[in-house]
Amino acid sequence: MPISGFPEWMPPQRMIEQRVIERIRTTFELYGYAPLETRSVEPLDTLLMKGETSKEVYVLRRLQADDNAKDDDQLGLHFDLTVPFARFVGENAGKLQFPFRRYQIQKVWRGERPQEGRYREFLQADIDVVNRGELPFHYDCEMPLVIGDALGGLPVPRVRIQVNNRKVCEGFYRGLGLEDTAQVLRTVDKLDKIGPARVAEVLIETVGATRAQADACLELAAISAEDGSFVDAVRKLGVEDPLLDEGLGELLRVVETAREHAPGLVTAELKIARGLDYYTGTVYETLLEGYERFGSVGSGGRYDNLATSGNERFPGVGYSIGVSRMLGVLFGQNALNISRSVPTCVLVALPNEEQRPACDRIAGALRKRGIPTEVAPTAAKFGKQIQYADRRGIPYVWFPGEPDTVKDIRSGDQVEADAAAWEPPAGDLRPVIAG
Amino acid sequence: MPISGFPEWMPPQRMIEQRVIERIRTTFELYGYAPLETRSVEPLDTLLMKGETSKEVYVLRRLQADDNAKDDDQLGLHFDLTVPFARFVGENAGKLQFPFRRYQIQKVWRGERPQEGRYREFLQADIDVVNRGELPFHYDCEMPLVIGDALGGLPVPRVRIQVNNRKVCEGFYRGLGLEDTAQVLRTVDKLDKIGPARVAEVLIETVGATRAQADACLELAAISAEDGSFVDAVRKLGVEDPLLDEGLGELLRVVETAREHAPGLVTAELKIARGLDYYTGTVYETLLEGYERFGSVGSGGRYDNLATSGNERFPGVGYSIGVSRMLGVLFGQNALNISRSVPTCVLVALPNEEQRPACDRIAGALRKRGIPTEVAPTAAKFGKQIQYADRRGIPYVWFPGEPDTVKDIRSGDQVEADAAAWEPPAGDLRPVIAG
């Protein structure tokens, strides 16, 4: 029986997912990110460092654990890849070269309540850069370019990255006279869920904002621009604060860099806050054009205080693509298809069981040149063997003979062929994905 | 802190692992196996179907589970990929095309006692073929060829596959007059651990074997051959049984097919039994030449009764490569190395921060042609930037100028270069793995 929150895809969807992962990984490596994989479990206290996610942890227990063996009681499955990465960096700081750039593509788990219908197991693809001491800001500018490049090469809808900077918000709230900036941020983060009127009410109730202060927060959150014009829009609100200035300068650099290298990719969107406590500057969200209503399919940000080792600090910036989430949305809308359900390009027909060794040799010759090939399961009538290929979308059936022939079962064209030389058109070699 | 049994590799080892996975996956696809990924968890009763593994299951619990919500109490992490696959086939039989050939490369978990020093999280790479009703035997012959092909293309020691057939053992024991063939099999399976004298004693004690019967079991287990001569060796022991005949015929086909398509790969080794209850015929083990003392790095076999759906039976045959186990052995012996610790082929030197956009454009032009490139983190002195490359094993540093030049920092050679046209030697494009 299916288990709620633990999706399983059929092979065609899995082939699409693999192609997506392959593109993401290749892109990450083109930018010099090194691969890393951390264990799936962390000590519970590492996972609970950030209180708000504690309810989402799955704890492990050995079925046959001795009553007095407490070791495993303290292990939980990781709920993201940033916390394990920060732990890894702190633990291995002496062995790593800084700045350390790594990518990590792994499953994560969240023990959500089943009735919420959310994924409880899903795949994330992360990049992060951390440095010892200080991390140059240009890495904040690089993140969206890498993500845009990775997803831009796929048959998925166009990606739009929304960027903000917590310093802008916190500086603005502080300059406005609101002290509990974290609470203001958390409230504004609910804007899309509860609407501006309710946000204003909550601000007035919980942080003691005046109506004018609440309105100013909403005006800030309403600012959105694809270029540097957001700076003037903020200035017009008349709030002054050094942290605000710093944040505006940083956000401007991200937007301007993206405009130069990837026009149309990035928007400054001042309502973006990101729920996680550990972000300290730039924050990112990712939307798919035409699928905005399904929410963000990737996010990240700058964290200056997550990774530590003794007295040392390892500030970082990272971005996480929600691979399962993105594909779940697109599969659900039938927006991604693949041309066959197996990798096989050629089925070698089997005239009779005695010829199996000869057919295996033909298959071997084709495979040696990179052409995925199967031999028919039984020496059934050729019509049935062609049906085997057809049902799986295998485009070619190979008939051993004097000479051999190969048939394109879509067009019916059949030509003489030599297993040591024949090649399919490039477009038929691998299954084709279409958006 | 490291957690016993949950290995974490540094990026160079992870790069090697990825290359190994890539080779395995590409090979599996060349043979037409379709990718599949099952969820990491199964209901506990699915996992416990085969009693002997029950002690190895990790059970999940939501940290914040309501006391009356029992749903998650019944989920455990899978301990192999065969049991989940059999469950998947039974569940989705109506949607799959049979024979169904799939591969699956995933983590599995075993809640071993920590003091045993074994992996508790590790990666497996499996292929299986299942069919509705009957599964042709030639798939038993294909399995070792696929595995030999996958691992043969890697810089790992030569692979030797040991094959046996449970029908040979069971038929032999039965023909010999021993009724509890399962118990005999389990005892003989301990041969390498406890030695022949002790095996004979246990057989006499537990299944009531005579000394002559026990000796005959040991003589059978001692038979080993790279060709069909094992058949005569068994016949000489003078035992007659129809199941023995069937098993010998099957085993002969596996050995003869391998001799034709991959000489030297397969040995008939009649002591191989495989602990798992679900195997019903062919069984496989895998050794690395020169590393035999570390034990098997892959195994599998024929299972006729594992997957079911209603009254239907889905017999299968499969093979599992223990990727973590194999790499753990080789890394532990320093038998695998890689030429750099990052994917980066070129570091673009940065004369000053103002030139970062120009340097980013050079990097972009190189990446567009598939050359992994980073821009230097800061505009430090060039000596320091070269050191950045050197410490990571990055072979080339690119100097923007009029004209641009690129320097091979290993040889010191520096030449004029155009980012739109320059290419590194093919051997430098990706990190090189050496055995």
On chain B, the residues whose CB falls within 8 A of the CB of A260 are 357
Question: What count of CB pairs under 8 Å joins A to B?
Answer: 218
User: From its phi and psi, is residue B133 left (phi > 0), alpha (psi between -120 and 50) or beta?
Assistant: left
Residues within 8 A of B (CB atoms), A 344-363 only = 344, 356-357, 360-361
Residue A52 has what pLDDT? 55
Residue A67 has what pLDDT? 53
CB pair distance less than 8 Å for A34 and B342 = yes
Mean pLDDT throughout A284-306? 94
- What pLDDT, in 10s, does the model give residues A148-197? 999 998 989 999 999 999 999 999 999 999 999 999 999 998 998 999 99
- A279: tokens are 């972000």
Q: DSSP character for A33?
A: P
CB pair distance less than 8 Å for B15 and A33 = no
- Cα A364 from Cα B261, distance rounded (Å): 9
The region of weakest confidence among A45-59, A373-387, B161-175, B420-434 is: A45-59
b/e burial code for range B205-241 (CB count within 10 A of at least 16 → b): eebebeeebbebbbbbbebbbbeeebbebbeebebeb
Q: Who contacts B34 (Cβ-Cβ below 8 Å, separation ≥6)? A: A11, A14, A15, A341, A342, A343, B101, B102, B103
Residue A70 has what pLDDT? 55
On chain A, the residues whose CB falls within 8 A of the CB of B43 are 1, 3
- Map out the domains of chain B as residue ranges: 11-338, 346-434
State how far Cα B346 lies from the chain centre.
33
User: From its phi and psi, is residue A112 left (phi > 0), alpha (psi between -120 and 50) or beta?
Assistant: beta
- Give ipTM to 2 decimals: 0.94
- What pLDDT, in 10s, does the model give residues B125-159? 999 999 999 999 999 999 999 999 999 989 899 99
Closest to A65 (Cα-Cα) out of B119, B111, B116 = B111
Q: How does residue B309 score in pLDDT terms, banded at 50, 70 and 90?
A: confident
Tell me the nearest-neighbour CA distance from A188 into chain B, angstroms.
27
- Cα A409 from Cα B377, distance rounded (Å): 54
CB pair distance less than 8 Å for B63 and A111 = yes
- Whether residue B273 has pLDDT greater than 90: no
- Cα B135 from Cα B131, distance rounded (Å): 5
CB pair distance less than 8 Å for B109 and A30 = no
Give the count of beta carbons closer than 10 Å to the beta carbon of residue A229.
13
- Cα A268 from Cα B18, distance rounded (Å): 37
Q: DSSP character for A158?
A: P
CB pair distance less than 8 Å for A377 and B136 = yes
Who among B14, B54, B391 is closest to A36 (CB)?
B14
Residue B49 has what pLDDT? 77
- Whether residue A55 has pLDDT greater than 70: no
- A409: tokens are 């079962």
DSSP-based three-state secondary structure for A368? helix
On chain A, the residues whose CB falls within 8 A of the CB of B15 are 34-35
Residue B310 has what pLDDT? 84
A369 contact B CB<8A:
no
Average pLDDT, chain A: 93
On chain B, the residues whose CB falls within 8 A of the CB of A131 are 377
Mean pLDDT throughout A385-400? 98
CATH number for the domain running over B11-338: 3.30.930.10
- Cα B401 from Cα A298, distance rounded (Å): 38
Interface test with A, best of B25, B31, B353 (most A CBs within 10 A): B31
CB pair distance less than 8 Å for B131 and A377 = yes
- What pLDDT, in 10s, does the model give residues A125-137? 999 999 999 999 9
- Cα B187 from Cα B198, distance rounded (Å): 9
Residue B51 has what pLDDT? 53
On chain B, the residues whose CB falls within 8 A of the CB of A263 are none
Cα dihedral sign for B238, B244, B247, B253? Answer: positive
- A175: tokens are 């300059």
On chain B, the residues whose CB falls within 8 A of the CB of A58 are 60-63, 72
In chain A, the percentage of residues whose pLDDT exceeds 70 is 95
CATH class of the domain whose range is B346-434: alpha beta
Tell me the nearest-neighbour CA distance from B221 into chain A, angstroms.
30
CB pair distance less than 8 Å for A63 and B65 = no
A256 contact B CB<8A:
no
Residues within 8 A of A (CB atoms), B 116-155 only = 121, 131, 136, 138, 149
CB pair distance less than 8 Å for B8 and A392 = no
- Whether residue A113 has pLDDT greater than 80: no
CB pair distance less than 8 Å for B63 and A55 = yes
- Whether residue A290 has pLDDT greater than 80: yes
In chain B, the percentage of residues whose pLDDT exceeds 90 is 86
- Whether residue B67 has pLDDT greater than 90: no
- What pLDDT, in 10s, does the model give residues A252-276? 999 999 999 999 999 999 999 876 6
- Whether residue B54 has pLDDT greater than 60: no
Mean pLDDT throughout A226-243? 97
CB pair distance less than 8 Å for A15 and B35 = yes
CB pair distance less than 8 Å for A341 and B373 = no
- What pLDDT, in 10s, does the model give residues A61-70? 888 766 555 5
Who among A63, A111, A343 is closest to B62 (CB)?
A111
Tell me the nearest-neighbour CA distance from A216 into chain B, angstroms.
36
B77 contact A CB<8A:
yes
Residue B115 has what pLDDT? 66
- B363: tokens are 């990097």
